């Protein structure tokens, strides 16, 4: 065999204008199609893509757990696992000596693909719906792609896309009416209870915020440093849970207020911060901690809400 050649590897033309296909390029293409937050048309498409990826990487795939929407047979999520997932069953139904030694294939491999969707929505990787913010998901993809220039979209595109997907998560009329009635009853019983609701163009509840008297008192004493976290979501409507948190003199967390939002747009955050300041009689914080959501950061800068620091 001649030096520099490998047995079994085909030779390709070496002209500069000819692109040489390699296994790595195939894997890269499949990884992009299976990237965090990517969208597929069906469960079958995701399965075939993952099987192709597994074949290129040298392992096989088997179908794993699945979950349906409550009280329906409609699929909500599906997992595809490496065939080596799990461990060998140590139980033995017979004490007879086996004629041959069975090959151990279950080696606790953790490789898997999970896809999920909202009801009547598109199938996508479960990372965003698992409580990871859009900002963190995009940062992960930028890191995996060795830079934001290789992702194929900018952060604003990701926020706009997620906002479009979540338009159907507005609170239904019956639940919205019950919510507002609860707020009214609570305000009638507690003089200092504060609440506010933002409606969309169809008069559906988009965002709402509330705080009680203790929240206002705690903010008066401990509101110099404010933390806002938007990485959690509710189960039914997939609403963003946004607690306003501070730290008291015992180094314990205290709640200043709680909001639920249907999207993470700059307009929604501007409404939220305006409402929060109104609830706290205009008192501003000195420093603010956030989860680096770009839309939130834009709203903070637009409203000039970080006089000393923003982390």
For the record, the structure tokens of 159 come out as 């926020």
Strands 225-228, 287-289: pairing is parallel
Distance of CA 166 to the CA centre of its chain: 12
CA distance 245 to 257: 8
Residue reference for tokens 């079994």: 8
CA distance 94 to 111: 33
Largest CA distance in the chain: 90
* CA nearest to 290, candidates 136, 153, 75: 136
Handedness of CA 20, 23, 28, 33 (dihedral sign): positive
* Alpha-carbon separation of residue 304 from 103, 148, 249, 285, 309 (angstroms): 65, 28, 27, 11, 11
**206, containing H or E segment:** strand 205-211
* CA nearest to 171, candidates 262, 241, 242: 262
- Count CB-CB contacts under 10 A for residue 139: 15
- Count CB-CB contacts under 10 A for residue 35: 17
* CA nearest to 38, candidates 119, 151, 135, 133: 151
The parts of the chain modelled with pLDDT lower than 50 are: 1-24, 93, 130, 168, 308-310
């Amino acid at each position: 065999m001649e030096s520099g050649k490998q047995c079994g590897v085909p030779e390709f033309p070496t002209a500069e204008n000819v692109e040489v296909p390699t296994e790595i390029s195939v894997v890269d293409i499949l990884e992009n199609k299976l990237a965090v937050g990517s969208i597929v048309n069906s469960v079958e498409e995701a399965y075939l893509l993952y099987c192709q990826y597994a074949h290129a990487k040298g392992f096989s795939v088997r179908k794993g757990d699945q979950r349906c929407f409550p009280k329906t047979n409609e699929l909500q999520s599906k997992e595809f696992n490496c065939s080596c997932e799990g461990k060998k069953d140590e139980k033995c139904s017979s004490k007879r000596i086996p004629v041959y030694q069975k090959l151990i294939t279950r080696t606790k491999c953790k490789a898997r693909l999970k896809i999920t969707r909202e009801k009547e929505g598109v199938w996508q990787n479960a990372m965003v719906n698992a409580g990871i913010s859009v900002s963190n998901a995009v940062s992960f993809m930028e890191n995996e792609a060795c830079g934001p220039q290789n992702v194929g979209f900018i952060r604003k595109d990701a926020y706009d896309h997620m906002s479009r997907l979540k338009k159907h998560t507005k609170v239904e009329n019956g639940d919205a009416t019950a919510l507002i009635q609860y707020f009214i009853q609570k305000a009638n019983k507690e003089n200092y209870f504060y609440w506010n609701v933002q409606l969309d163009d169809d008069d559906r509840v988009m965002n709402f915020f509330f705080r009680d008297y203790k929240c206002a008192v705690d903010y008066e004493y401990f509101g110099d440093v404010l933390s806002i976290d938007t990485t959690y979501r509710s189960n039914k409507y997939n609403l963003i849970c946004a607690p306003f948190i501070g730290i008291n003199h015992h180094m314990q967390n205290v709640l200043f207020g709680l909001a639920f939002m249907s999207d993470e747009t700059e307009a929604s955050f501007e409404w939220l911060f305006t409402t929060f300041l109104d609830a706290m009689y205009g008192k501003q914080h000195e420093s603010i901690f956030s989860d680096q959501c770009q839309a939130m950061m834009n709203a903070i800068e637009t409203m000039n809400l970080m006089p000393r620091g923003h982390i």
